[in-house]
Each structure stands twice: as C-alpha cells, then as structure tokens.
Structure 1
Amino acid sequence: MSGSTVAGQAVGLSEGSALGEEQDLRVYLAVLRRWLWLVVVCTILGAASAFLVSSNMAPVYEASATLLVHQAPSAGVSDYTAILTSERLARTYSEMITGRPVLDAVIDQLELGQTAEELAETVEVELVRDTQLIRLSVEHNDAARAATIANALSDAFIAYNAGLQEARYSGSLTSVEEQIGQVSALIEQTEEAIDDLDAPETTEGLAELARLQTILAGYRNTYATLLQGYEEMRLTAAQSTDNVIVAEAAEVPDEPVRPRVLMNTALAGVVGAMLAVGAAFLVEYLDDTIKTSDDISRELGLGTLGAVARLRNGDDVLVTLTEPLSPPSEAFQVLRTNLRFSALDKPLRTLQFTSAGPEEGKSLVLANLAVAMAQAGLKVILVDGDLRRPRQHALFGLHLLGGLTSSLLQGSTDGRLQPAEQVEGLSLLSAGKSPPNPAQILSSQRLRELIDELAQKADVVLVDSPPVLPVADAAALAQAVDGVVLVVDAGATRRGAAQQAVENLRQVGANVIGAVLNNVPMTRRGGYYYYYYYYHQHYGEEEGKKSRGGRRKGFLAGLRRRRAKRGEEREAAGEG
C-alpha cells in the first residue's frame, strides 16, 4: 500500500469523523429546538416558584464576632511544633465555644428560653486560615438579637477559658497559701512566747530565750521561702496561661443573609432548564418513532426519495391540483424526479406504494404523485390494489365497482380504466368489489399478467397496496412490480414496525428502492423546513431570482396603473 493511499484513507477517516460529529451536533440542536417550549416553561416555573417561596420566607440575619488567641510561649520548642500546637489549640477552642457549658451560660444570661442543642444549630465557628483568629457567627431572625448572642458567646467563652486556666494552678497555690498561714501562726506563737519571758536573768531563762529565738528565725526563713515560691508559682501560672480576647465585637447586620431571592431565583431557573433538557433527551431516547431521513437511512438502510409536509387542508386533498405551486406540491415533484433517477440502468415501469401500518398516508401520497407525474407529461395508470380499504376512487371522485377485482376475474382491463378529471394522462383502475380472499388474488399469476398489460399502455403504473404488517397482501403484490416504495409517517411510524416491514418485503424478493417521509412538520423546528430550504436555496436559486424579479416588475407596473387611475379620477372630478 502506497503512502498516498494511506494518507488518503487517513484524510477520509478524519473527514468522516468530523461529519459524524457535525451530524450529532445537529441532532442535539434539533432536539433542543423541538423541546424549547418545555425548557422555557420549566425555567419560568422554577424561577417563579423560587421567587415566591424566597419572598415569603422569614429573613435570617448573621452577626459575627472575632476572637484573638494568645498562646503562652513554650521554652525549648521548635517553630514547627509551636505551629502545630497553635492550630490544635485553635481547633480545641472552636469546639469549646459550642460546648454545653458556654451555651448554657449564654442561655441563662440572656434568658433565651431554648436548649443548648437549639442554640448550637444557629452558631457557626470558623478558623481564619494562617492566623490566630476565630470567627464566631450567629444566625437569628432578629438582627439585634443575633449581635447580642454573638457578643454574649464571646464573653462567656473568655470567662470559661479563664476559669479553666486558673484551675490548673489553683490546687498548688492553695496548698502553699495554707502552709504560709500555718508558718505565720507559728511565728506569732513564738513571738508571744518570747514576749512572755520579759528579759530573763536566770541561766534557765536565758537558755529558753535563745531557744525560742532560734526557732523564730527558722520559722521566718521558712515563711520567706514559702512566700517566694508562692510568687514564683503565680508568675509561672500567668506566663503559661493561654489568653483569649475579643478582637472585633459583633455589630447589628443591615441585610439578611437568607433568603437570597435573586440567587435562588436564578439557580431554580437553571435547575428547571436542566431538568427540562434532561427530560427532553430522555423522551427522545425512549421515542422509537422515525422522524427524519437520517433515521430512515440508519434504521432501515434505505434512501429517502422525498419528504412530504403535513397537509393543512385535510387528509383527502390533492394538493398537486389545488395548490400546484405550494411547497408540498413541489415535494411531490421532487419525489417524481428522484424516482425517475433511482434506476437509470433499468427504468422502473411499475411501482408499489405501501406502509408498515395503516393510517400513514400512503394512498394520499401516491395519488398526489400520480398527478405530479401526469403533469410532467407522463401517461400514468394508478391501480388501487388495496382491496380491503380502497381510497383512490374517493380521492378522485370516481366509481369503485368494475375495477381491479373484475379485471382479474375476466382477464382484461378493457373499459375499466377511468380517466381522472382535470388531469390529462392519468387513469385510475379502482379496487372494485372487495373479494373474500384478497391475498390469494393478489398473489396470482393473473395479477402479474394484468400489471404487465397495464405497463404496455402507460409510461408508469403506480399500485396502491395495503400495509405490510397487518395482512399479506402487500408482500404478495410486491412480487409483481419492479419496485416498492415504503411510506413512513414522520413521528408516528415505530422503528421496529418499519424494520419488520422492510424485512418482510425483502424475504419475498421485493425490490425496496426507498422510502417517502410523510407528514413532516412544516416548521423551522421540523425536518421539512430544512428539506425545503435545501432544494429551493440550492437548486431553485436562479429560478427564485427570476421570479422575484418578475414580482418586482409586476409590483411596479401595478403601482403605475393605480397612480394613473387616481389621476384620471381626479381629472373627472375636476371636470364635474
């Protein structure tokens, strides 16, 4: 394999991938356009509901106070350890603020009339990152009350923390104080004993005085030692105590933090739109009907020979007669052209039109196509092969009896072809009287001979047949014609039914040449708009320019005629 071939294949793959992605994007955009009304409705409903609910909610105010933590310095501790200790201390304090002792103190102080758990639900404690600050926030329906509770919580926690810090050394200090008191009492007793001796002159008295003075000196030394230790202990306690102060007191808030009406409205609208989009794609995913020519190609493996818009004037209107220049009428002309070029090597002289199920519009499509072919100068014979529910005679206002059934029984169509009024070159062979066994009649050799006979008399023979799935008539008739066209009702024919119909036809050797997409919505959201735009912008561009020019000329000529007529009327009035 040459390098150019490999490069060409790579380019082809990349172009195919890009084309597939573009088609997927178009499918998604088409779904969004089709369900745009639902997205708009859900967005408006969601936004309106959120606005009403938010507007009727009681406002919630938030007041915040900031506490500063002074950590006691620790000797011989690394900076990293000090940072970890500081973070843990801050987290500890944040938990202590919402503890029961602090909350109960605030409840008693402000007489809130609620439990500690209820108060804790309104309190939020946040550590300010990379600082020694703790932010304390309180929510309440009353703005002033929120600020009061926040400040009371700050004061209660500071008092509670101070009490805990003092409790660390209170036992030791109390013990030393008791010892100091005992020594002080002994000193007083000794001094009183010395005073009672009152300057003794005897040897025994002098000895007793010396003994008491020695004891007094010892008590005084002990007292001094205890007092010094007591002061050192108090200093140590003061230096090792973690202090908490109010860095910023809470103020009365001006605006509530909830509800945020605009934000809630916007978010509800976005959520409503997202739910609507999700529901739309879910419905599209679950919808197994065929809607576009891409569906026909992907699911049935057939080409789309034409797309016919949903007729607005009723189900029994031959639009090719009543509105020959309308877009639906031009769609039948396009279908006529596509059928002509669908088999260049072997022209299709006999064509059968059928559908997967009933009520898909095959009879009306075939009748309008027959008129379009006759208008193009072709000699057309339309055969109503639906012996169970014939419609072609009613569409053209002709007789039912003496048609296909009688022709098959007598082996000839002489005198049974009815010319269609107002359509030169079009003849109809109606269904005739309904037989008891339509499938057997349509599968007979005599039918094949009859269709061959009609093909000798006309340029094209169009056969209307019953649906494929309900009865076997269509499959039997398909073996007697050159090609079969499947009519698909856009948005109504289910994928499985259409696939089964194609399979049934191919099993009997039918030549299924393509499909016609019928009842396409003629809107910008539907596929027919793009179909019509494609043909008229690309193929009819030059003709459109000519017609627009002609219309402009006609308009100017009419304007000149009206001006001349008004001038003549003014002159006549002046003469009168």
Structure 2
Amino acid sequence: MDTQESETAMARLYLVILQRWLWLIVLAMLLGASIAYLLSRSSQPVYEAVTTLLVSEGQKIGGTDYDVLLMDERLARTYGELLKGSLLLKQVSAQVSPSVNSDDLRKMIIVDTVRDTQLITLRVRHTDPKLAARIANAIPQVFMKQNAEQQAARLDSSKQIIKQQMQSSQAEIVSTQQSIDAERVKATPDPNTLAHLETLLAQSRAAYQELQQQYQSIQLAQTEASQTLTVSEPAQVPQQPILPRTPLNIVVGALLGLMGGIAVASLITYVDNTIRNADDVERATRQAVLGSILRIKGKGDAQKPILATLPNSAAAESYRVLSTNLEFAVLGAGGLPALLLVTSTQPMEGKTTTLANLGVSLAKAGQRVLLVDGDLRHPALHKQFDLPNNVGLTSLLLHPTMDLQESIQDTGIERLRVLTAGPVPANPGEVVRLAQTRALLSQCKALADYVLVDSPPVLAAADASLLAQHANTVLLVTEVGRTRADALRHAVGALTQVGAHIAGVVLNKVVAQQNSRYYGGYDYGYYAPERTATKRARPSLAQAVSKPRKKAARAQGVERSS
C-alpha cells in the first residue's frame, strides 16, 4: 500500500510540474527544435556514394597451400578490413586526390558485409558528391590490382618451385631408365635388380605426372586469380545529401528540449518549495485543504469583508464554500458553541481577512458569530469593520472587572459582533498567558454559536500556540506562492505539539486559473456580469449593511438557489 501511495504521489507531483511549468517545457522544446534546425541549415551537406562488391570462390589448387581457397563470409570480412588498410588508402589518395590523406579517407569510408551472402558494401561520405563517387570506385580497383599482383607473385613462386621439382623428377626417370638398360645388356641380368629398378621408374613417372598436373593448375589459377573480388554495382554520383537529416534533427532537438525543460522545471520545483496548490499542502503536512480563496484585486477591497461589499463575486463565493466546509466537516461535528482559532504561518498571509469574511458568511447563514481579535501585537480586525479600538481584549484581560458585553461592538451585520484587540500592551505574550484568558474565552462562547479568534502567526510568536490550547479547532491560512512548505510544516508541528486540533488549511490569494480545478470555471463565468456591474459603483460597508432586510433576503435566496 505504501508503494502504491508513493507511486501515486510521484505521479501527482509530475502532473503538477507539467501543469505549472507547461509553458517552460513547450518553450524548451521549441528552442531545442529551433537550434537543431539552425545547425542543420548551417552545416555543410554530406553525400554518400555506394559500391557493392562480390567475393567469389577462388580456383582450387591441389597439392600446395593454395590448393583450396574458399570464399565465404569469413573471407568477405577479411576483405572488408583490407579495404581500409593504410597502404591501400595511400595509393587511392595518390590516384584520386592527393589533398586527401589516408587518415581522412579512413574516416570517410564505411565497409559492411551483408549477412549470409558474399557481398561487401563500401560507402564513402564526402561533401563533394563527385569525389565521393570517385573514391568509392577507386578503392576496389586499387585493391583488386594489389590483390592480383600479390596473387600472381605467389603463383609465380609456386610455379618455379614445381618446375624445379619436375626437372629433378625427370632426371631421376632418365637415370633409372639408364640403370635398367645397363642391367639388361648383361649376360646374366639379376631379376631382383631389374624388378627394383622398374618399380623406382614407375614411382618417378607417377611423381612427375602429379607435378605436371599441379603446374597446369597453377597456370589456370593465374588466369582466374583476379576474379575473387569483383564489382557487382559501381558507385554513382549521389544526387541528394544524406546529412544533415533536418527532420530527424528537429525531432531529436525537440526531445532534448523536452527533457531539458522537464529537468529544469523539476529542479525549480525542488528548489522553490513554496505552496502553490492543495497537493503541495497534502505532501508537506498531510492536512486537508478546506477552501481556496481567490485573490482580491485592489488594496481597498482587502480591508473590507468582500461578502459585504461584493457578495455576488467569485471571491465571495469562495468564502461561502470555505464556510460550508467548516460548518459541516469540522465545526458542526462537535456541536455548538464552537471556538475556532484562525492563524497563519507568517504575517501578511490574509488570516484576518479570512476570519472576517468567514464570520460574515456564518452570520448570513443564521448563526450568531463573535469575532475576537487575539492578535495583540498587530491588531487589524477593527479595520475590517471600521470600528474603534479603544477598548477590547487587552482591556478585559488587564481589568477583569470590566463588562464583556459592553466591550463587544456591533458590526451593522445582523448576528455578527466583534471584540477588538484593544490598546496594544507592552508585553503581548505575557497578557495572553494570563489565567483569565481561558475564562474570558469561555464567556465569549456563551454569547455566540461560533467564536472566531484571530491570532498572531504561528512562527512569528508563541501567542498562537497558547491561544490554540483554548480553541476547539484551528484553521491555518497560507498564501499561495509565498508560504514555504517547510514553514507550513513547522507551523503544523508547533500546533500539534501543544495538542491543538487542526481543521485544515486555507489556500489564500489564489489566481482564478489556478483555482479552476476546484470550481471548474463555472462560478467565474456566472458571476462575471455581477462583477462588471459592481465595478461601476462599489458600495461601502455601511451602505452594504444598511440595505433593507427584504432586499438582502432576496439576494441571499438567489445566491443559495444558484
């Protein structure tokens, strides 16, 4: 099972690389193909002239080392090597083109033997097609001439030896015959001596006859020795170059570019380990992604809950999806009331904006929501709703006698109230550690169905870990393309270490195209007309919440029906 999961993870990783860096991979392919095309166009064309040679059996010669000369594949391979000999190529160079030395010729020629045949294919490659053809025809001619001369010299030497043997044998015949004649003229010839001499005479005549046959065979071999290698098909002047192979080079260049592009993309992905999608989150932390929040254009929009200013926008819908996932998958499972801590890995990732819009979404869904600004170092929740920050959480913690109800402020949105951070203390970390923090948060839970607490980033201060111990669950906000995987992993580890329950991760500031895998592109097209209309005159937060309740209900009904 682990092996299957590992293979699946690797496949998903390569798919992510392909999706993210497709433009780079395509660019690398085009670059590789272009370079291959330019190199092919700039390189000088090479022509190939081909000569086919036939190796035939030699003349059988009896009695000597040249009796049997079998021409088979082994002889053809031998000739193939001899055709590339230095002495031969020097003679060919002197005959065809003295400017081309033997070493250059050896690089030009390719000799192949055709399997199960006695054929030899001689290929010569050169930028000059005529010179290639001349060299291809000259090499076998010079070789056959050399071979014929060497064969003739060997046969002449054999003839001289046999001729001497024949002369010696003939002298023996004459001497033996004289001895026989001398023995016969005696008055009483010795029969045994005559029989012996006649036997010697017969043997000498037989040896002489055999030498005569060998001599005749060598004479016949001399006339046919040059036929052991013949030109079956002479080389013609090639009309078309074989190199460069421009189409093949373009394909190879594109493939090399593809491999290079994938390698570069993989290297960038390995070096740049920022979180970019849900797969990155799951690989780094094994945490589920509960929602992907679209990037909100413009600094002004980022300071106000978009669910109040642009309720029908695609970004607002992404907050509603997050709210639904939280309500059914996490918060609703534990029953009411629920205290949710919203934090991030590092500053400026959008945790406060996420918390504010999540609160608006839950409030519009009929829940009583209390937002608490627990970021005592850089409080910003009051800016989301244009509220004063004179009295808040720090005031209640440092002055336990103060009334909680009087410190909570209305936002103008029904069922949504806010407890701001209050004046920034000199030692925020010590204030959060106060014993009355748990009691105060318990009081907050008694006043609402959902209490959403904003806290400092996990890796920026210990406050988040302290506050997480009082929460039912934690929502971790991460910015796409900015938060590093190792930082997110350390943040999850820090929260887990204090026993916090992490509901999941929110991908924030996602570009619409990146988010299409979650929304399928439908919502963007559906809400596009609304965005165009609201772009002309965007309402302020006060205008948004002061509309008649009847119109708000009608708009809410349209949203739900969609």
TM range (shorter): 0.7 to 0.9
CA–CA distance in 2 between the matches of 1:516 and 1:348? 22
Q: 1:399 and 2:388 equivalent?
A: yes
C-alpha change, 1:483 and 1:181, in structure 2 (3 Å) is closer
Match of 1:418? 409
Match of 1:92? 78
Match of 2:398? 409
1:325 shift after superposition? 1.6
Which of 314, 318, 328 aligns to 2:305? It is: 318
Q: 1:53 and 2:44 equivalent?
A: no
Which letter maps to 2:415? G
1:243 shift after superposition? 1.3
Q: Secondary structure at the match of 1:498?
A: helix
C-alpha change, 1:444 and 1:225, in structure 2 (3 Å) is closer
Deviations 1:56-109 (A, max 9, x none): 111111101111111226599xxxxx9996121111101111101211111111
Which of 352, 357, 366 aligns to 1:377? It is: 366
CA–CA distance in 2 between the matches of 1:463 and 1:367? 10
Q: 1:472 and 2:456 equivalent?
A: no
Which of 267, 272, 286 aligns to 2:252? It is: 267
Deviations 1:258-316 (A, max 9, x none): 01111111221122123222333444455544444344445434333322223333443
CA contact 1:165–1:242 (8 Å) conserved in 2: no
C-alpha change, 1:379 and 1:253, in structure 2 (3 Å) is same
Q: 1:131 and 2:117 equivalent?
A: yes
Comparing 47-56 with 226-235, which one deviates more in the overlay? 226-235
CA contact 1:486–1:515 (8 Å) conserved in 2: yes
Comparing 52-61 with 503-512, which one deviates more in the overlay? 503-512
C-alpha change, 1:323 and 1:64, in structure 2 (3 Å) is same
1:532 shift after superposition? 1.4
Match of 1:5? none
Match of 1:541? none
Comparing 318-327 with 296-305, which one deviates more in the overlay? 296-305
Q: 1:303 and 2:288 equivalent?
A: yes
1:405 shift after superposition? 1.7
Which of 151, 159, 164 aligns to 2:150? It is: 164
Deviations 1:499-528 (A, max 9, x none): 3222322332323232222233321xx3x2
- How high is the sequence identity, in percent, across the aligned residues? 39
Structure 1 gaps of 5+ residues are: 1-12, 77-81, 183-221, 538-543, 548-576
Match of 1:40? 26
Q: Secondary structure at the match of 1:121?
A: helix
Deviations 1:102-152 (A, max 9, x none): 111111112331321111101111111221111111111111111111111
CA contact 2:73–2:117 (8 Å) conserved in 1: no
CA–CA distance in 1 between the matches of 2:49 and 2:293? 68
Q: 1:529 and 2:519 equivalent?
A: no
TM-score (norm 2): 0.76
Structure 2 matches for 1:458-497, cutoff 5 A? Answer: 458-497=448-487
C-alpha change, 1:386 and 1:236, in structure 2 (3 Å) is same
Which letter maps to 1:326? S
Match of 1:243? 228
Q: Secondary structure at the match of 2:376?
A: coil
Comparing 397-406 with 118-127, which one deviates more in the overlay? 397-406
CA–CA distance in 2 between the matches of 1:229 and 1:382? 121
Q: 1:154 and 2:143 equivalent?
A: no
CA–CA distance in 2 between the matches of 1:514 and 1:32? 26
Q: 1:449 and 2:431 equivalent?
A: no
1:45 shift after superposition? 0.6
Which of 308, 319, 322 aligns to 1:332? It is: 319
Structure 2 matches for 1:289-300, cutoff 5 A? Answer: 289-300=274-285
Structure 2 matches for 1:189-208, cutoff 5 A? Answer: none
Q: Secondary structure at the match of 1:59?
A: coil
CA contact 1:180–1:223 (8 Å) conserved in 2: yes
Which letter maps to 2:228? N
CA contact 1:384–1:429 (8 Å) conserved in 2: yes
CA–CA distance in 2 between the matches of 1:88 and 1:98? 16
CA–CA distance in 2 between the matches of 1:99 and 1:401? 101
CA contact 2:57–2:71 (8 Å) conserved in 1: no
CA–CA distance in 2 between the matches of 1:370 and 1:455? 14
Comparing 292-301 with 451-460, which one deviates more in the overlay? 292-301
TM-score (norm 1): 0.75
Match of 2:219? 234
Which letter maps to 1:520? V
CA–CA distance in 2 between the matches of 1:133 and 1:490? 69
Q: Secondary structure at the match of 2:236?
A: coil
1:362 shift after superposition? 1.1
